[in-house]
Chain A
């Protein structure tokens, strides 16, 4: 069964901390995506990557960065976490045949 695995299901961090969210896929997909999901706003694209070491800004990249050193791993980094970044974070990988989503990381910044 194909999988997208996110490292943490729930995370609580303090304001100003550097936060790493990890995502690993086992489908050899080239495309990987990070979204955040907020009530009433739906899913919004933060960053995406089409290949190793390549990254593109999505619709709301401010306050975030990403890293893709290996094809299977796509990391989302919050350089200095703020309370406005409290949200559900979802990773996905995709191909022409469809997308597979991870189970999400619910991040709370206090």
Chain B
């Protein structure tokens, strides 16, 4: 079982719909990252959060530490939001840190 699990694996929605992508983790983390990867492109960091909620434009990320769960929401979705969204937990161990990744959610927004 992966330490970081995402759902759904694939999501197709109509333009304008409200989108939710979920991430659950089974290990202790010091922070959780949400990343975006466009086809053939590099990875862009969207959020890093360790508690509560962060908002940037139409994107909102929340985290519940007790439930070990995070969500990424997209309001008023647009075809340009089509990408793979990846959550990653930052694990710290004896002063070292590394990211453990979910396998990603492929989002397709249809005009």
Contacts and interface: CB of A to CB of B under 8 A. Distances in A.
Nearest to A99: B45
Contacts of B89: none
Contacts, number: 48
B103 interface: yes
Given A31-B97, A90-B42, A99 B86 contact: no
Interface residues of B, number: 19
Interface of A: 31, 33, 40-45, 48, 50, 56, 58, 90, 92, 94, 97-104
Interface of B: 2, 33, 35, 41-45, 48, 86, 88, 96-99, 101-104
B33 A42 contact: no
Contact of B104 (A31, A42, A97, A103): A42
Contact of B48 (A43, A50, A97): A97
